[in-house]
Amino acid sequence: MSSKIFDLIQEEADRQKYGLEMIPSENYVSEKILKANGSILTNKYSEGFPGRRYYGGNEVIDKIEVYTVNLAKKLFGVPAAFVQSYSGSPANMAVTMAVCEPGDVVMGLALSSGGHLTHGANLNFSSIFYKAVNYKVGDDWKIDFTELGALAKKHKPKLIWVGTTAYPFKLDYKKFRKIADMVGAALVADCSHITGLIISGAHESPVPYVDIITTTTHKTLRGPRGAMILVTDRGLKKDPEIKGKIERAIIPGIQGGPHNHQTAAIAIALEEASLPSFKKYGVQIAKNAAVLAKELGTVSETHLILLSLTKYGYGLGYQAQYALEEAGITVNKNTIPGEPASPFYPSGVRLGTPALTTRGMKEKDMVKIAGWIKRVLEEIRGLDLPKEQEKRKDFLKEVKIKLHQNQNLKQIKKEVAAFAGKFPVPGIG
């Protein structure tokens, strides 16, 4: 088999093996998942739901989807599950459409406080077609429940999102429930980032408190790209029609044919997540994050760390991401609460441990990795973002050239590659 693409896949495999993948929303899936995801199931069209398809030839596909739905229901202890959403964003769109009419008020954590785009961010469908109200974190970087309660009373949302994408603390679902009940809102947990932690008991489950849950399947759950929507007993009681509403939002509301290869791969991820070894995995993710955070001078109660770089200088997130990449460590630049620089050139980085933990790394390895990260960050001292906006582009171009030639970063990259290469990656070796 030859194609330029296979050469490029090999190049990417080397990057994944000899680097440290620390973007907290990423992971390495098992060989079984890779196989199902790359299978002939991609050939089939099956618009509709099991037993109710628009196309013929779906006997086997029906069995696959029913099996996947049943695994999801059992693993989470919920009465209904939907597994056709192409990814997390369309799952969130489907839930919003199922719960709200256009123009209704939707509340979610602000993007700048660690929320997700689909929870009411500017330019996203959630603020274009709905009236979005954002709550925020306070000076301690934790969700400000006083503000959240006041906003809910004032705006009477139909839906409140509880879910985060750059938030290192545990979520208190009980407090959210109280506020949702106060105003009669549907409470929806978007657990995308922490589903693996919830399954392993390293984070409280939202099931007793919320009406609906959405989750991507490709983050801490360690499955293929995709998403699930789960309805709790409580959600079903609150709205007995909700199942049909979610189905109609998925199709014809948003999507056409489901990605059956993806559904099958989700089933394997759910099988794997049902094993005792997965519990250990989830607990280890959190232990690793706590050690890494401590070594970097901050805290994490989850799988991720939001690291402020203000002690190194002004607006250094982009420079840090690039310098770390030059050293074989992949993270992403991120705003910090009360961002002092700019959303495009922010003051922090976001990093996490799910992928490293899949490779078998433990606490002592986190100490080593923190050492490399700190050495890299020393190299960006003095590379502060210019305060004048018009100077930034040229400045960052020069910074990249400088960092690319930096001999200390080249040395760290060698050490990182020698270390990372010892930990196998599923599907790569």
Ligand X SMILES: Cc1ncc(COP(=O)(O)O)c(C=O)c1O
Residue whose C-beta lies closest to ligand X: 88
- Residue located via tokens 């959405």: 214
- 334 binds ligand X per the rule CB under 6 A: no
Q: Which stretch binds ligand X (CB under 6 A): 189-197, 249-257, 276-284, 358-366?
A: 189-197
Residue 223 sits at φ, ψ, to 5 deg, of -110, -170
Closer residue to ligand X in complex, CB, 58/220 = 220
- 328 binds ligand X per the rule CB under 6 A: no
d(CA 389, CA 407): 30
- The residues that are catalytic are 45, 47, 190, 216, 219, 225
Binds ligand X by CB under 6 A, chosen from 30, 89, 112, 308 = 89
Which region, left, alpha or beta, applies to residue 60 given φ > 0 means left and ψ of -120 to 50 means alpha?
alpha
d(CA 185, CA 128): 20
Site track for ligand X across 99-118, x = CB under 6 A = -----------------x-x
d(CA 30, CA 35): 9
Least distance in Å: CB of 351 to ligand X? 14
What is the DSSP track for 42-99? Answer: GG----EETTEESSS--HHHHHHHHHHHHHHHHHHT-SEEE---SSHHHHHHHHHHHH
Cis peptide before 252 (omega within 30 of 0): yes
Q: Which stretch binds ligand X (CB under 6 A): 86-94, 270-278, 293-301, 358-366?
A: 86-94
Beta carbons within 10 angstroms of residue 408's beta carbon: 15
Beta carbons within 10 angstroms of residue 390's beta carbon: 7
Of residues 379 through 418, those in contact with ligand X by CB under 6 A are none
Least distance in Å: CB of 365 to ligand X? 25
Which region, left, alpha or beta, applies to residue 250 given φ > 0 means left and ψ of -120 to 50 means alpha?
alpha
Is 344 annotated as ligand-binding?
yes
Binds ligand X by CB under 6 A, chosen from 19, 48, 88, 317 = 88
Is 116 annotated as ligand-binding?
yes
Closer residue to ligand X in complex, CB, 256/424 = 256
Closer residue to ligand X in complex, CB, 19/88 = 88
- 163 binds ligand X per the rule CB under 6 A: yes
Binds ligand X by CB under 6 A, chosen from 205, 216, 308, 330 = 216
Closer residue to ligand X in complex, CB, 214/347 = 214
Of residues 344 through 383, those in contact with ligand X by CB under 6 A are none
What is the DSSP track for 350-395? Answer: EEESHHHHHTT--HHHHHHHHHHHHHHHHTTTT-PPPSSGGGHHHH
Least distance in Å: CB of 60 to ligand X? 26
Binds ligand X by CB under 6 A, chosen from 165, 263, 319, 332 = 165
Residue 91 sits at φ, ψ, to 5 deg, of -65, -45
Is 403 annotated as ligand-binding?
no
Closer residue to ligand X in complex, CB, 25/353 = 25
Closer residue to ligand X in complex, CB, 26/144 = 26
* Pairing outcome for strands 20-21 and 212-216: unpaired
For residue 310, give the DSSP letter. Answer: T
Helix (H, G, I), strand (E, B) or coil at 25: coil
Q: Which stretch binds ligand X (CB under 6 A): 83-91, 176-184, 323-331, 344-352?
A: 83-91
Is 41 annotated as ligand-binding?
no
- 190 binds ligand X per the rule CB under 6 A: yes
Question: At CA 348, angle to CA 170 and CA 281, rounded to 5?
Answer: 40
Is 423 annotated as ligand-binding?
no
Q: What long-range pairs does 48-55 form, CB within 8 A, spacing at least 24?
A: 48/251, 49/84, 49/247
- 25 binds ligand X per the rule CB under 6 A: yes
d(CA 219, CA 25): 5
Is 256 annotated as ligand-binding?
no
- 193 binds ligand X per the rule CB under 6 A: yes
Of residues 298 through 317, those in contact with ligand X by CB under 6 A are none
Is 115 annotated as ligand-binding?
yes
Site size for ligand X (CB under 6 A):
13
Closer residue to ligand X in complex, CB, 165/321 = 165
The footprint of ligand X (CB under 6 A) covers: 25, 87-89, 92, 116, 118, 163, 165, 190, 192-193, 216
The annotated binding site for (6S)-5,6,7,8-tetrahydrofolate is made up of 111, 115-117, 342-344
The annotated binding site is made up of 111, 115-117, 342-344
